[in-house]
Amino acid sequence: MLALSEYSFFIGGMNDGKWFSAAVFESDETVDGVAVDDYVGNFSIPVYDNSGTEILYNVFILDSGSFVKTAPAGASYRYITAEQTEWYLDQSEKLEQKTGGIVPAVMFTHIPLMEMKEAYELNGAADGDIYAGFSLSDTRSQIFKALFERGDVKGIFFGHEHLEDATVFYTEGDRSVMMGLTKMAQAQSYSDTTSVMNSRVITLSADGGMSTYVSDSTGHTGKTVTLP
């Protein structure tokens, strides 16, 4: 976060700011009585219309942690906690109270949720593919059930899987949530200094619509996937 704070358009920090809400959660894991791997990067960022008065969308960013430090070697990645889930629901409800309706949203976190793998295995990918498999936590987070029932989050996007690039839909009844992995959005992924870098472009519409595609540093653009 310190490195990013040098950018002119950076907004963020450990506490609430003018344009966002922030939260820090103590890890639920301790080593010798000391909390490890605190969850620092949790943000709720409203997206306004051109006049700066009406909230049209919201961006949730949740810190998914890294490794379970006290587990044996090769053990699980961490996951979004119950406290983070409660914070997300509280922020979503505050936005509804402020605007008079549920505000459509997108969510970003690092480690993919189990539901991403389940949706891919059931329906395949709307774009891209999974080649080397998923690296998931072995604990199911409460966050997906909460956001799916709440109905505000239209898409949730992950990093972590350096070689995988896929967009899928998790569908239940008449509701769908888009889920996306974006591979190698940085140089030196796995010490590889020659690979093509990638980015994901997400377009949010004032009517709550959303579409996305992946573009790489050679100029190649993937298929545009639109939320039904």
| 55 falls within a domain | yes
99-146 confidence digits (pLDDT tens)? 999 999 999 998 899 999 999 999 998 988 888 778 888 788 999 999
Residues 176-199: what's their mean pLDDT?
75
pLDDT at 70: 57
**What is the average pLDDT score of the chain?**
85
Question: Distance (Å, rounded) from C-alpha 11 to C-alpha 43?
Answer: 10
**What mean pLDDT is predicted for residues 197-208?**
91
Integer Cα distance of 116 and 167 in angstroms: 9
Mean pLDDT of 213-218: 87
The answer on pLDDT for 199 being more than 70 is: yes
pLDDT of 2: 64
Taking 80 as the threshold, does the pLDDT of residue 203 lie above it? yes
Query: Can you give the pLDDT at residue 14?
Result: 78
Structural domain contains residue 120? yes
Is position 21 within any domain?
yes
Q: Please report the DSSP string for 118-157 in residue order.
A: HHHHHH--SEEE-SS-----SS--SHHHHHHHH--EEEEE
Residue 33 token pair: 């009585």
Domain count, the chain: 1
pLDDT tops 90 at residue 219 = no
Closest CA to 119 of 108, 134, 107, 100: 134
State the pLDDT confidence band at 211, using cuts at 50, 70 and 90: very high
Question: Which pLDDT value is given to residue 147?
Answer: 97
User: Helix and strand tally (H, E) in the chain?
Assistant: 3, 13
pLDDT digit string, tens, across residues 21-74: 888 777 666 655 555 666 778 999 999 999 989 999 999 999 887 766 655 555
136 vs 84 pLDDT, higher one? 84
The verdict on residue 122 lying in a domain is yes
Contact 214/203 with Cβ under 8 angstroms?
no
Query: What per-residue confidence (pLDDT) applies to 28?
Result: 64
30: amino acid identity, one letter: T
Q: Show the domain range for 61.
A: 4-190
Domain presence at residue 8: yes
pLDDT of residue 35: 54
Summarize the confidence of residues 155-182 as an average pLDDT: 88
- Predicted model pTM: 0.87
Q: Is residue 111 part of a domain?
A: yes
Helix axes 82-99, 143-150, angle to 10 degrees: 20
Q: Per the domain annotation, does 212 fall within a domain?
A: no
